Structure 1
Amino acid sequence: MKKILLYISSLVASFAFIVTSSNVNTTCAFLIHQPKLPQGAEKLSKH
Structure 2
Amino acid sequence: MKSRLYSLSVKLGSLAAAMMAVFSVISVKTACMWLTYQPEEPEEIRALKKR
Flag the structure with larger Rg: 2
Structure 1 runs not aligned, ≥5 long: none
Number of matched pairs: 47
TM-score, scaled to structure 2: 0.75
Percent identity, aligned pairs only, is: 26
TM-align CA RMSD:
1.4
TM score, norm. by length of structure 1: 0.80
What are the ranges of 5 or more consecutive residues in structure 2 without an aligned counterpart? none
- 1:1-47 pair list within 5 angstroms: 1-47=5-51
Report which of the two has the higher share of helix. Answer: 2
